Amino acid sequence: MELKGKVALVTGGGRGIGQGIALALAGAGADVAVADLDLAIAEETAAKVEAVGRRSVAISVNVAQPDSVRAMVEKVEAELGGLDIAVNNAGIISIQSIEELTAEDFDRIMAVNAKGVFLCTQAAVRVMRPRRWGRIINVASIAGKIGFPDLSHYTASKFAVIGFTNAVAKEVALDGITVNALCPGIVGTGMWRGEDGLAGRWREEGESEEASWARHQKTLLPQGVAQTPEDMGQLAVYLACAEHVTGQAIAVDGGCTL
Ligand code: NAI
């Protein structure tokens, strides 16, 4: 699979899954713009992209803000000369029961995970459609396929991503643009690990964070082990190359959603 001459953009690319996808695309030959709320970590990933011999640019963005998203795409085009592959990966999570979930929390999660994917997809389609080629990869979740307790707002946002992906895929299908959702299972990024991650928050009495992490892998995943950012990068490269795969929501989850 070969992406030489293509320009990719990865939001939330400063760390975790986004960084894994950025490096996999670079490894396949693409130049990769790395956008993140945190410019310092975007710069770190951009330096890693350059270390494998590809061009890169680090961009500060808030995907929930239309002006910020517009400026991000303008910068990618100005610095790297186009936009062929848009990976809309930035996302956030919080744990709240349905009783304690506030309207503000719900809006905050939806603004980044659902509206952010909409704004980034729209900005990408606007530049891809006239060129009649494009790949849009929206990072959803296993929570876009099945519900998880205390994550009703997050689950709603990820179901939204999959429905949106399916609809836009049909809308742009005649224009050489594919739109797919990539659904990670459990990946040991900042979202899961540490005291504030899911493994830290979902501890049983007296359980260490490490033990909670091991337990969740065993109980949620038929294969028993977490996936990696590199696993997500492999699927992203495939979707960036594939011509006739569109409108799909493909899980890389060790069988979690079987
Ligand atoms: P992470 O928390 O390690 O990284 C997320 C990145 O997004 C961070 O660099 C952060 O600065 C950036 N970001 C957050 N809000 C932003 C905003 N408004 N604008 C721009 N950038 C922003 O998380 P991880 O695990 O790498 O997650 C990436 C995506 O994968 C998310 O959409 C998440 O929902 C999804 N996912 C993750 C899973 C996991 O097990 N880690 C499982 C399923 C889905």
**Contact indicator for 173, 123 with CB cutoff of 8 Å:** no
Point out the ligand 1 atom lying closest to the alpha carbon of residue 185: 42
First to last CA, the chain: 28
User: What local confidence, expressed as pLDDT, does residue 57 receive?
Assistant: 98
Q: Report, as an integer, the average pLDDT of 163-177.
A: 98
User: What local confidence, expressed as pLDDT, does residue 173 receive?
Assistant: 98
List % helix, strand, coil for the chain (3-state, nearest 5): 50, 15, 35
User: What local confidence, expressed as pLDDT, does residue 207 receive?
Assistant: 97
The tens digit of pLDDT for each residue in 22-69 reads 999 999 999 999 999 999 999 999 999 999 999 999 999 999 999 999
Q: How far is the CA of 189 from the centre of ligand 1 (A)?
A: 9
**Contact indicator for 93, 114 with CB cutoff of 8 Å:** no
C-alpha to C-alpha distances, 239 to 1, 9, 19, 25, 67, nearest whole angstrom: 10, 14, 17, 11, 28
Say what the ipTM of the complex is. Answer: 0.99
Show the ligand 1 pocket: residues with CB < 6 angstroms: 11-12, 14-18, 36-38, 41, 61-64, 89-92, 112, 139, 141, 184, 186-187, 189-192
Beta-sheet pairing, 31-36 with 7-11: parallel
The tens digit of pLDDT for each residue in 64-92 reads 999 999 999 999 999 999 999 999 999 99
What residues act catalytically?
154
- Closest of 235, 145, 229 to residue 182, by C-alpha: 235
Type of residue found at 5: G
User: Domain 7-186+229-252, what fold?
Assistant: Rossmann fold (3.40.50)
**How many other C-beta atoms can be found within 10 angstroms of the C-beta atom of residue 214?**
16
Start-end of H helices in 53-151: 66-80, 103-110, 116-128
Asked if the model's pLDDT at residue 111 lies above 90, the reply is: yes
Q: What percent of the chain has pLDDT over 90?
A: 99
Q: How far is the CA of 91 from the centre of ligand 1 (A)?
A: 4
H/E stretch holding 49 reads helix 39-51
User: What local confidence, expressed as pLDDT, does residue 124 receive?
Assistant: 98
Asked if the model's pLDDT at residue 160 lies above 90, the reply is: yes
Which residue, judged by its Cα, is nearest atom 23 of ligand 1? 191
The tens digit of pLDDT for each residue in 173-200 reads 999 999 999 999 999 999 999 999 999 9
Which residue, judged by its Cα, is nearest atom 28 of ligand 1? 17
Among positive and negative, which fits the CA dihedral 195, 197, 201, 202?
Answer: negative
C-alpha to C-alpha distances, 86 to 91, 167, 234, nearest whole angstrom: 15, 17, 15
User: What local confidence, expressed as pLDDT, does residue 222 receive?
Assistant: 97
User: What local confidence, expressed as pLDDT, does residue 204 receive?
Assistant: 97
Q: How far is the CA of 166 from the centre of ligand 1 (A)?
A: 21
Average pLDDT, the chain: 98
Point out the ligand 1 atom lying closest to the alpha carbon of residue 64: 18
Q: Report, as an integer, the average pLDDT of 192-213.
A: 97
User: What local confidence, expressed as pLDDT, does residue 202 receive?
Assistant: 96
* Domain extents in the chain: 7-186+229-252, 188-226
DSSP 29: T
Rg (the chain; Cα; Å) = 17
- Closest of 15, 13, 10 to residue 189, by C-alpha: 15
Contacts of 160 (CB under 8 A, 6+ apart): 110, 113, 114, 117
Q: How far is the CA of 142 from the centre of ligand 1 (A)?
A: 14
Q: What is the dihedral of CA 184, 190, 191, 197, to 10 degrees?
A: 140
Point out the ligand 1 atom lying closest to the alpha carbon of residue 112: 18
Asked if the model's pLDDT at residue 1 lies above 80, the reply is: no
User: What local confidence, expressed as pLDDT, does residue 109 receive?
Assistant: 98
- Closest of 228, 229, 189 to residue 21, by C-alpha: 229
